């Protein structure tokens, strides 16, 4: 699929919040980042915030099954993250944790934080503030952006891909270092846990589904830009 959409067609000055949800490995982060670049918009990776709270809890020795302690950790966490699609960094209490939050040990524990409702409420509140602070020109991605964080976004997309495509992509992304079982744990098992508190497998009313299983990266970016264009014109 190709696109003749020219990002210059999206006028600056008007609010343009693009909300993108989807399961693990569907391409949300990488596609959203590239779409944000092309739209000259900010980029918000909400999963990085769940990961940062998880790392904080693990380093503080907090029991991730203790929902009161996890909620308190989310409320107290001093998280800063880049909203530029051209710069990737996440800091907790001023310390750079950009790489640490991507470690498999965090990936396999993060669902405990993501399923703690009090922690979600705190992070949703912060995400909504970050979207307002962006001047409402932002691509925000996660699991509940189209439904909870930004249900009134100008553009709402569910980015999906088959399990097979998602496992293959994540395997390549991790340099072939993971066993098939480890990949399933990090992608499918995590999705199953996260799905207990938020539905990111089915598009809510008004949300456009893009299935990228048979699209390459560039074709997927084009498909998202097409939806942005048709939703705003
Ligand atoms: N359409 C595509 N075709 C091929 N590879 C893709 C496509 N979309 C994304 N990818 C690649 O798949 C990998 C996983 O993408 P990404 O990390 O963006 O997924 P994600 O949905 O954000 O996952 P998670 O929620 O687990 O963080 C990346 O290496 C990315 O470059
Ligand atoms: N809006 C969000 C964003 C993320 N999560 C959860 C789901 C994942 O297990 C975890 C990390 O996300 P990722 O970096 O893999 O996209 O955070 C969520 O529940 N809601």
Per-residue CA distances from 66 to 109, 113, 117, 129 (Å): 13, 10, 12, 27
Q: How far apart are the CA of 28 and the centre of ligand 1, in A?
A: 6
Which atom of ligand 1 approaches the CA of 30 most closely? 18
> What is the model's pLDDT at position 2?
34
For 152, residues 6+ apart whose C-beta sits below 8 A from its C-beta are none
- The angle subtended at Cα 136 by Cα 51 and Cα 35, nearest 5°, is 65
> What is the model's pLDDT at position 224?
98
Which atom of ligand 1 approaches the CA of 169 most closely? 12
Per-residue CA distances from 116 to 123, 212, 227 (Å): 11, 30, 33
Report which of residues 186 and 49 the model is more confident about: 49
> 160, 27, 164, 29: which is closest to 101 by C-alpha?
29
| Average pLDDT of the residues of the chain | 94
Does 5 have pLDDT greater than 60?
no
Binding-site entries for ATP: 22-30
> What is the model's pLDDT at position 211?
98
Name the residue at shortest CA distance from atom 12 of ligand 2: 47
Report which of residues 38 and 7 the model is more confident about: 38
The complex scores an ipTM of 0.98
> What is the model's pLDDT at position 3?
40
> 123, 122, 149: which is closest to 138 by C-alpha?
149
Two tokens, residue 150? 């930004």
Q: Dump pLDDT digits (tens) for 68-120.
A: 999 999 999 999 999 999 999 999 999 999 999 999 899 889 999 999 999 99
Least distant ligand from the CA of 46? 2
> What is the model's pLDDT at position 104?
86
Confidence at 4, pLDDT banded by 50, 70, 90 = very low
Say which range, 3-17, 134-148, 172-186, has the weakest mean pLDDT: 3-17
């Amino acid at each position: 699929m190709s696109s003749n959409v020219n990002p210059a067609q999206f006028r600056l000055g008007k609010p343009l919040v693009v909300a993108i949800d989807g399961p693990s490995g569907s391409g949300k982060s990488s596609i959203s980042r590239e779409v944000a670049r092309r739209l000259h918009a900010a980029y918000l990776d909400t999963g990085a915030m769940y990961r940062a709270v998880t790392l904080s809890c693990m380093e503080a020795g907090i029991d991730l099954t203790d929902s009161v302690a996890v909620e308190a950790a989310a409320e107290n966490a001093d998280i800063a993250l880049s909203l530029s699609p051209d710069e990737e960094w996440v800091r907790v209490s001023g310390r750079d944790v950009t790489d640490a939050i991507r470690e498999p040990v965090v990936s396999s524990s993060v669902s405990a934080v993501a399923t703690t409702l009090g922690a979600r409420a705190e992070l949703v509140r912060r995400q909504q503030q970050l979207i307002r602070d962006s001047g409402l020109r932002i691509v925000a991605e996660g699991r509940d952006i189209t439904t909870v964080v930004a249900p009134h976004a100008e553009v709402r997309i569910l980015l999906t891909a088959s399990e097979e495509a998602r496992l293959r992509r994540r395997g390549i992304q991790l340099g072939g270092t993971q066993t098939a079982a480890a990949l399933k744990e990090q992608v499918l098992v995590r999705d199953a846990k996260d799905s207990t508190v938020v539905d990111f497998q089915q598009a809510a009313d008004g949300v456009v589904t893009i299935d990228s299983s048979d699209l390459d990266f560039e074709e997927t970016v084009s498909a998202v830009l097409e939806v942005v264009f048709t939703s705003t014109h």
